[in-house]
Chain A
């Protein structure tokens, strides 16, 4: 049996540090919102001429009066991702860019993807993303509240907040882009983290009923160990599937799968070191679960 409980206090400090650091990052550095939430235009280009360099392309775009333009390589040497604000929401901007590029580089570009999100739509998408995440947290809270006692709910929700905030914190730290698919990833993380916590809690509750004389500090450790191989196998297979998406699923799914990978790791960690320590700190005992059984 691994003595997970020996490190409860240490990892509480670590978790608190992670959450505080993430919150500081989120407040002061903020998130790197993509055009879905900020508005603007995105173009994915593929050039057939390998002699064209990023810097020459960047120069050309900065001459086009598009405002703040970012030109980056995307995946391989011939693909480029161009983003700009398109503040005036010019109607024929893509046509202008196309003819401009044709003039300077010849007809060597294939417009593989064009996305344009107006300011009104991006504000709405951001709003509905925030609502979706808040709603999912609220529904999870409600679900766990009817399934378990309040001490368990608090533990699960704290673990959830930790996972969401720290995942977003990592995105903020490395300035990774937040777009619609990241919202989907965060929601899945919420589901996964909850799933993981519930499995351990289920066992804690079962053991609480079984053993009257074991203290919660020991009991959580027993429960974690009993469910440990399941925790490891499930997170391993999930991570295997996610790494397959990250490595082979193409550029578009990179951010999404990265967020999920982070979420699964944090989710597994928090089920053990946040959710359970809350039970210990709240001094959950057999009485807590037996009271409910009587009702």
Chain B
């Protein structure tokens, strides 16, 4: 056990040296082409925002069912089947047909090549479920249908979220899917988290609609409030143009009125419709509606055929910039709610780094002094090993570009405290062996062998706890499990290779010395 071949010594030295170099690369600026890996600092250390957004899919489902009622009505109308009493209630569609038509309805919904009820062969399920309640038919989304719908609205939403955040210009945002209705956003080093929050909180559904006094408008009407929350207007449900028709939007200063405005340009379809609406509707009020609130409702004075226009509404420069940004990046398919937020300011992050480093230095120092006082020369060996162990741990974290959090630093300090355990187990065992065994080398050898099961057991239990924490924990706590878990491996390596190497050299040189430990 105590013998080390030259090759092994070389390997251990090179390995340790390599990790010391890698770990030090965090401190110095190394040429990027050569080695550019670094330990990432978690949001709690570098400052930033963690936002968990949940997509509110209910409006999407409502909208889909709304569209579906007309699809069903028209589809069967072509087949000369009249659909009666069709209505939506609590995310279900109900309707009646004559008894002789029931079979056709059922067959149509259950056909795998159905035009109105898509079939997912991989899941052996239709999008919709049709039930005959006895009184009427009930149509609802199947489990798979609902999943497909949620996934697609999540895909759209994450795209829009990404565009909005890119426009704000945050560095290295992290935008990830969580489940099938959540989006995780991590924004390191953010100056103004409130702005991003308010940008993500808006659906940005823009429509241009005529203001009408006719409550019997063919398309139906909505009573909508103005942004200021005071005035109200009746607006037709007919959409002239929507946010989808926008090509670009920019905040501008109106030279005449000295007001901040948002100017926009429309795509070909949008321009055509806008031109037609402004030519037929001269003198009428055109409401510009964003997320169910009227921004402004200017009177049309002239035909606008150029396909560009402007929105005014008492904006500040900031709010005009944000509105333009929202319009450029497009509307979310469904409203997003921020269900979890954790924001750390950069100065608190720096304070945490400082506190963590001071605690690490002091903890390290205390352990080192304690070990030296207790074991002298073997304490020294343990301490040198401990330092190399720390470098290997940091080196591995660097190599995998792991994220270091404040609890992660605590994990490193804890590793320092617990890493001596294996060496202590070995040394105490050797002491016991030396009571009966006069030969130093044999005593050391059996000390290492006999303490092995206890060391392995002890480390596996801690590792198990770290693994569970890694899979169950989130954010900062996950960082703790990483350093604790990696620390176990580096500790075992440094105890069985580095410390043993030093020990073997020392013992071989003092093989006849009494009271060696």
- A residues near B (Cβ < 8 Å) are 44, 46, 89, 91-92, 94-95, 110-118, 120-121, 125, 128-129, 131-132, 135-136, 139-140, 143, 147, 180-181, 183-184, 187-188, 190-192, 194-196, 198-199, 202-203, 206, 226-227, 229-230, 233-234, 236-245, 247-250, 252-253, 256-257, 260
Contact B359 A245 (CB under 8 A): yes
Q: How many whole Å from B267's CB to the nearest CB in chain A?
A: 32
By secondary structure, the B interface counts as helix
Residues of A within 8 A of B340 (CB): 116-118, 121
Contact A252 B194 (CB under 8 A): no
Q: How many whole Å from A59's CB to the nearest CB in chain B?
A: 25
Q: Check: B366 CB closer than 8 A to any chain A CB.
A: yes
Closest to A246 in B: B359
A-B contact pairs, 9 of them (CB 8 A): A114-B193, A117-B339, A180-B477, A181-B407, A195-B421, A202-B457, A241-B364, A243-B363, A250-B406
Residues of A within 8 A of B54 (CB): 120
Q: How many whole Å from A96's CB to the nearest CB in chain B?
A: 11
CB contact list, B370-399 vs A, under 8 A: 370-371, 374
Closest to B358 in A: A248
Q: Check: B160 CB closer than 8 A to any chain A CB.
A: no
Given A110-B345, A117-B340, A233-B424, check contact A143 B454 (CB 8 Å). Answer: no
Contact A132 B425 (CB under 8 A): no
Task: Please pick, from A91, A206, A237, the residue contacting B420 in the complex, using a CB distance under 8 A.
Answer: A237
- A-B contacts counted at CB < 8 A amount to 221
Given A116-B340, A233-B424, A250-B406, check contact A199 B348 (CB 8 Å). Answer: no
Q: How many whole Å from B67's CB to the nearest CB in chain A?
A: 29
> Which 8 A-B pairs have CB atoms at the shortest separation, nearest pair first?
A241-B417, A244-B363, A191-B465, A250-B355, A132-B472, A118-B339, A194-B461, A191-B462
Q: How many whole Å from A2's CB to the nearest CB in chain B?
A: 16
Contact B413 A241 (CB under 8 A): yes
Residues of B within 8 A of A237 (CB): 366-367, 370-371, 416-418, 420-421
Residues of A within 8 A of B414 (CB): 188, 238, 241-242, 245, 260
| Cα(A187)–Cα(B484), bound, Å | 12
Q: How many whole Å from A215's CB to the nearest CB in chain B?
A: 22
Contact B454 A203 (CB under 8 A): yes
Residues of B within 8 A of A136 (CB): 464-465, 468
Closest to B375 in A: A233
Closest to B44 in A: A252
Contact B410 A253 (CB under 8 A): yes
